[in-house]
Chain A
């Protein structure tokens, strides 16, 4: 059974600081997704990582995938309040149709 674990579960940080969210998974996969969810809203796709060593960046967020370590990271650079949300990673074992999600990391960025 595939297990996907995120840590931390909750993160409170000051604006301007850097931090990393970790996503560990238990079964070999080379497809990993990051989503963002704002309170009361649905999930928005951030990144799709499809191979070992994949790195993608969008604004202050950068995601990477190490399939050998079964680890993905979401790095936040110089956080701003607008990044406050819950972030989910998800691992795919079935061609895009069987996503297993982590429990989510709730990020609060304080002014």
Chain B
């Protein structure tokens, strides 16, 4: 079974803090993704990575950066957290050989 894990289920941070969200997949997938999920808006793609050290902007990259130093790990960074970044963050991964993205359990981030 594909397993995508995220470092925290719940996280509370203060405005202006630097926030790291970590995602690890154990299936040697080439592609990894970060989404945020907000009620009524579905999921929106922040960034994705198709290889180590490679990244592409998604639909809403502003205020976020990413890092992929190892194939299995993809990090989302909020350089200076703001209250409008309070959301559920979902990580996903996909093999080049399949069409399906596999999702992690999500991190609910609250920025006060």
Contacts and interface: CB of A to CB of B under 8 A. Distances in A.
Query: Is chain B found bound to chain A in the same assembly?
Result: yes
Interface stretch (B35-43, B64-72, B76-84): B35-43
B50 A101 contact: no
Interface in A76-111: 88, 90, 92, 96-104
A96 B101 contact: yes
Nearest to A49: B99
Given A42-B106, A96-B31, A101 B42 contact: yes
B59 interface: yes
A102 B41 CA distance: 7
Given A42-B90, A96-B99, 7 more contacts: A4-B42, A42-B105, A43-B90, A96-B101, A97-B48, A100-B59, A101-B44
A48 interface: yes
26 contacts: A9-B40, A33-B99, A33-B100, A33-B101, A35-B103, A43-B43, A43-B103, A44-B103, A45-B100, A45-B101, A48-B100, A88-B42, A90-B43, A92-B99, A96-B31, A96-B101, A97-B48, A97-B50, A98-B58, A99-B45, A99-B101, A100-B45, A101-B42, A101-B43, A101-B44, A103-B40
A48 B99 CA distance: 7
Contacts of B45: 98-100
A68 interface: no
Contacts of B90: 42-43
B5 to A, nearest CB: 11
Interface string A41-63: 11111001010000000000000
Interface string A20-56: 0000000000010101000001111100101000000
Nearest to B32: A97
B22 to A, nearest CB: 16
B41 A103 contact: yes
Contact of B94 (A44, A97, A104): A97
Contacts of A31: 99
A104 B88 CA distance: 15
Contacts of B103: 35, 42-44
Interface in B81-104: 90, 92, 94, 99-104
